[in-house]
């Protein structure tokens, strides 16, 4: 990672994509989709998160595998927190 | 890896004696930064989990509350933060290339974007707290239905955006710190770890906002 230097053009392209996705998410938020408003917004947000993490934070260029293990473990932990918490609350009315 | 230093650098003042190479030292520092960012994910993750559970339980109140968010302030602030992330990424790049002047200028622009974000957030908070009486507590006022549940929505709003704003304040301080040292010429092509790690922090705070924006401003199709 230390040796990788991305081009200025790449960074500007990523930034333009992020601005484009922001305009897109703001525009589609006016559509009446009910519960799917937030689903669509979060899908776009995740696309933006990936662009920032992979290119601006350079995750794509990390050569040290242990660092990748740290990142994946952190995200996996977050999924445990969010998904397992929700399985509890969603399934309570089923009983 | 073409511009990496040779494997054995005996007299490089930036190389700490417990590392073999500068590359190893940089990778260790970046990994340490990521471990810290994981603790930050845990910190914000708890609030996101709480948000999600109450959003599930108080579904209608969350829609009501979201309709009282300042859609345009939120959208403009998203754009401001994305611009600051670009200048931050370019600042790290300039430092890697040893371009001192452009590195300092880009860091200063990043600070300005950060301050602009905080300024807009301040105006937004002022409207919510002073004009609309939406700060949770004895002074909370809400005309619509589900008053207590909407108050909970605003508790999450102030807690999550407040902690995000606190991270922005710390971020502005950190960027100022590296901007000063970059201006003093402390960083160059073979040593720029502080700039890189402050950059990682800045982008992380940006990512938190990328999720806060839809969760508070975009869950209802009706905008203020």
CA A41/CA B70 separation, integer angstroms? 17
DSSP state letters, B109-168: HHHHHHHHHHHHHHHHHHIIIIIS--SSSTT----SS-HHHHHHHHHHHHHHHHHHHHHH
The answer for A 37-66 residues in CB contact with B (under 8 A) is 37-38, 41-42, 44-45, 48-49, 52-53, 55-57, 62-64, 66
- DSSP conformational letter for B11: S
Q: pLDDT tens digits for B131-159?
A: 999 999 999 999 888 999 999 999 999 99
B14, HSE (Cβ side, Cα atoms, 13 Å):
17
Residue partners of A76: CB distance under 8 A and separation at least 6: none
The CATH number, out of the four listed (1.20.140.10, 3.50.50.60, 2.40.50.140, 1.20.120.80), of the domain defined by the range B24-217? 1.20.120.80
Could you list the pLDDT tens digit for every one of the 224 residues in chain B?
Answer: 556 666 554 567 788 888 888 888 889 999 999 999 999 999 999 999 999 999 999 999 999 999 999 999 999 999 999 999 999 999 999 999 999 999 999 999 999 999 999 999 999 999 999 999 999 999 999 988 899 999 999 999 999 999 999 999 999 999 999 999 999 999 998 889 999 999 999 999 999 999 999 999 999 999 98
On chain B, the residues whose CB falls within 8 A of the CB of A73 are 38
CB contact under 8 A, A89 and B200: no
pLDDT at B150: 97
Structure confidence at residue A1 (pLDDT): 43
Nearest to B53 among A32, A56, A89 (CB): A89
Residues in chain A: 95
Alpha carbon of B142: minimum distance to chain A alpha carbons (Å): 23
pTM of this structure: 0.93
Cα dihedral A59/A62/A65/A68 (nearest 10):
-10
Looking at residue A2, what is its pLDDT? 47
A29 touches chain B (CB under 8 A): yes
B chain contacts of residue A74, beta-carbon cutoff 8 Å: 34, 37-38, 41-42
Cβ-contact B209, A48 below 8 angstroms = no
Q: How far apart are CA B59 and CA B78, in angstroms?
A: 25
Residue boundaries of the structural domains of chain B: 24-217
The CA distance from A95 to the nearest CA of chain B, in Å, is 16
Most A CBs within 10 Å: which of B21, B27, B34, B219, as the mutation test of the A interface? B34
In sequence order, what are the beta bridge partners of B188?
B191
């Amino acid at each position: 990672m230390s040796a990788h230097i991305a081009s200025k053009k790449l960074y500007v392209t990523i930034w333009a994509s992020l601005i484009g996705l922001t305009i897109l998410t703001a525009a589609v938020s006016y559509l009446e989709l009910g519960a799917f408003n937030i689903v669509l917004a979060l899908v776009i947000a995740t696309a933006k998160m990936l662009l920032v993490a992979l290119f601006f934070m350079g995750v794509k260029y990390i050569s040290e595998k242990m660092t990748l293990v740290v990142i994946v473990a952190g995200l996996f932990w977050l999924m445990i927190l969010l998904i397992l918490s929700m399985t509890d609350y969603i399934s309570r009315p089923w009983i | 890896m073409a511009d990496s230093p040779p494997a054995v650098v005996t007299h490089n003042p930036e190389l700490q004696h417990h590392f073999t190479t500068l590359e190893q030292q940089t990778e260790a520092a970046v990994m340490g930064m990521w471990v810290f960012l994981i603790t930050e994910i845990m910190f914000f993750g708890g609030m996101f989990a709480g948000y999600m559970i109450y959003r599930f339980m108080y579904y209608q109140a969350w829609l009501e509350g979201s309709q009282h968010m300042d859609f345009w302030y939120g959208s403009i602030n998203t754009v401001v933060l994305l611009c600051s992330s670009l200048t931050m990424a370019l600042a790290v790049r300039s430092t890697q290339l040893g371009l001192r002047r452009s590195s300092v200028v880009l860091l200063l622009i990043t600070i300005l974007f950060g301050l602009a974000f905080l300024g807009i957030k301040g105006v937004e908070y002022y409207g919510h707290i002073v004009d609309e009486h939406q700060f949770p507590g004895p002074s909370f006022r809400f005309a619509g239905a589900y008053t207590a549940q909407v108050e909970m929505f605003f508790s999450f709003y102030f807690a999550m955006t407040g902690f995000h704003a606190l991270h922005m304040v710390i971020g502005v301080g950190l960027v100022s710190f590296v901007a000063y040292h970059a201006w003093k010429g402390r960083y160059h092509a073979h040593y720029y770890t502080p700039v890189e790690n402050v950059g990682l922090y800045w982008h992380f705070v940006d990512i938190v906002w990328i999720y806060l924006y839809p969760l508070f401003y975009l869950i209802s199709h009706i905008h203020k």
